Chain A
Amino acid sequence: MKSQRLVQGNEACAHAAMYAGCNFYAGYPITPSSEVMEILSYELPARGRVFIQMEDEIASISAIIGAAWGGAKTLTATSGPGFSLMQEGIGYAAITETPCVIVNCQRWGPSTGQPTKGAQGDVMQAIWGTHGDHPVIVLTASNVRDTFEMTVRAFNLAEKHRVPVILLIDEVVAHMRENIDWPEPGDLEVIERARPAEAKGFRPFAGDAFLPFGAGARFHVTGLAHGPEGFAVSDEAAAKELRRMVGKIMDRKVELAMADRYLLEDAEVGIVAYGITARPAQAAVDLLRAEGVRAGLLNLKTLWPFPDHLVAEVSERVGLIVSPELNMGQLVREIERAAAGRCAVRAVGRVDGHLLTPAQIATEAMDALRAGADRGMAERSAEGVRA
């Protein structure tokens, strides 16, 4: 029988990182992410791996990037203010195609905000936080088991595509305890970065193969626009490299997309949610069904590259998409773009530091349906007048 453990999201994240082979953690304490680093401060040395507490979050992201080029599988975990400080480093990781994982336990913001309250306000920052066009993958998780699996997936994608991967959880998932089936070695796939066939002549920015420093090739790494050899380029050559870098992630949109579906087959209302909000959203589906409204849920686990095709598919079948988020409307812009006017889209935001309830989401859905019906009637009568 599988062993089960009653753990927090942050605990699941720390153990999943080790499961994935993480052998280097650098971080700076911040609520509500600190348990990740506290656990790893004990567990990593016990496995002969490296843990270091740095002087700030800027140093933390810099250290994990350096460690990746030293040959390590690296992680840092933080929250809002720390995540803001890491943005320049994330850009450096992106342009140097450095495999690394950044966990952001979202809390209410901006600024110090409400450190112990959950939120989903960092979605756009995770995608666009560093300056310039850049490749990045953003994942999320709505429960403790998901947090384990998505942490392992974050490492796998970072390794496979040589890209910084951001896992967005939130204060509630981070601190909530759930009994989960504990993955045994081998249950989940663990991917290692590809090595070049030969060290000699290794071109550091010519593909997904990765070679650390001191492994038989001497090369240059820079945050400047660079060519395959690592040396500075400009003009069309810079554009070509940027397009390749961004393209290697955006062109894999379908392959990278991950989502759970709940009662979507016959749905007339689709709720598109993610993270902690997917849970009240699922309960809202049941409430709506009890009222005779055929609702369904698309729970997105990949937030970037945004899985347009999954949302488009829903928008083709339903009259209404409801987009609940613990912010004032962030991912809903992507949802509206993907739905492309094929159905109505209703944003449901909550920013008082509490979770959306199933009833709130269901009520908003009913309200949107009624408004849509009224508008439909008005439009039809207007048509009648013109005719």
Chain B
Amino acid sequence: MAQTTLGPNFYQQVFADAPVIVCCLAPDGSTVAINPAGERLTGYRAEELTGHNFWRVLFPEDDYKQIVQSVLDTLKEVDLLDYEMTVTTKDGFPRIISWSLIGRYEGDELVEIIGFGNDLTERRQAEQERERLLHAHEHRSRHLQLAAEVATSVSTLLDTQELIVQTVEKIKEAFDYYYVGLFLVDETGEYAELRAGTGQAGEEMIEAGHKLKVGDGSMIGWSIANGLPRIALDVGQDAVHFSNPRLPDTRSEVALPLISRGQRIGALTFQSTAEAAFTDSDLAILSVMAEQLAVAIENTRLYEQVQQHAAHLEKRVAERTAELTAVNKELEAFAYSVSHDLRAPLRAIDGFSQALLEDYASSLDAAGLDYLHRVRTATRRMGQLISDLLKLSRLTRGEMHRERVDLSTLASEVLTDLATLQPERQLDCIIAPGLAVEGDIRLLRVALENLLGNAWKFTSKLPLAQIEFGQTEIDGERVFFVRDNGAGFDMTYVDKLFGAFQRLHAVNEFEGTGIGLATVQRVIHRHGGRIWAEGKVEQGATFYFTLQG
């Protein structure tokens, strides 16, 4: 290994090879010596500097005498003087140098100044670049955050006007623009109307009904017509667009179209007092915001339409309800008058027929008596029809009182009542236990009375009636049924079963008014259920029904 020694040329070597400026100056600032690094960095050769005042050459802009004086003064106070100062190279370029000066004294007298200079130019430039980037980045992220804030606020507002007014205010504040305005295309598609504008200028223009023709005449008109952004950065060349007397300080402007689902619905204008206020990054953010805003405007418009439809529907419903209520009232009045006024003449017909039979029987022959009996039979039947009709109408009136109802118990009670009336009949009856539902017990009793009453009636000609009440499941739905082995019916006429006064059997075969199943159907419908039937002539019938809830 080579032995490192401080040879006789060591100091000269260091002077020559040092990567920093090393110079020796006389106390008056004139250059005594400068090393090659010094030559390289300043651009001057040593000969060009030697004998000349160091500061006068390298700092031509400054008062070198003052520098010399201040250096000498400071060196009296300190051993080492550090400072940063920019030199001007021979080519005229600035270089940032970090200086360290040492004064060498003999006794109290300064004999020379040794200076070291470290070039910081590139480091400083890199630092500046970093600063600049950092600043740009901060600027951008601040705008992005503001854009996000705008986006959040636009997505929560449901009122179009509120949305656009708030948005232009937010953008103006966030980007510190001179003016922000929003135009929407009118119904004809010919004009863009100013719908929101910041500041007093905006207020006045809206007041004045400011609108621009969609087309090439204005930045807004052009932007909407072409569906593209338009930027005017230079006042001088694009002066025509900055002629708005209400916005005299505008020096640059951007117009961005508002496009939602391919429809050009309007445009935004951003105006600044700076001559080139809009960077690419600003434009990118504004464009994203314009896209979001366009969608938000469409949404609020749709929401408003839906609201209007809903209000309209509500009004229609209220009107129809009022109509229905009126009709129901009329119906009630009708039913009431039926119960009074139709019965009175019937009673007279029946009563006087009876009076005739009692008082004048001797004056009538057999046919006369028969006719009178027929009159009475018909009268009573009509009386029954009126009663049944009234019962049916009552079922649709009146409120439902929902409670837990045990249909099995109800069915047993109904069948027991029927059996009590005709104890001589043979009945084989199956009732599934514990079939409970939610419903109006009064109405459900009427339904079961009719269904089981029918089963009872239509099995009356059989030696052994079989009646079943139970539950089954069809397509996952709970279905109740009443089944009998009686007269049944022809499925051809199944549609007629549930109509009022519809009968599939002659009166002399099975009596009835034809109201029973219409009544049952009404009860089931009021419970939100359905009813249907299956049957075969002389092979019984099954009535199925569902109940909601």
- B partners with A: no
Binding site for A on B (CB under 8 A): none
Binding site for B on A (CB under 8 A): none
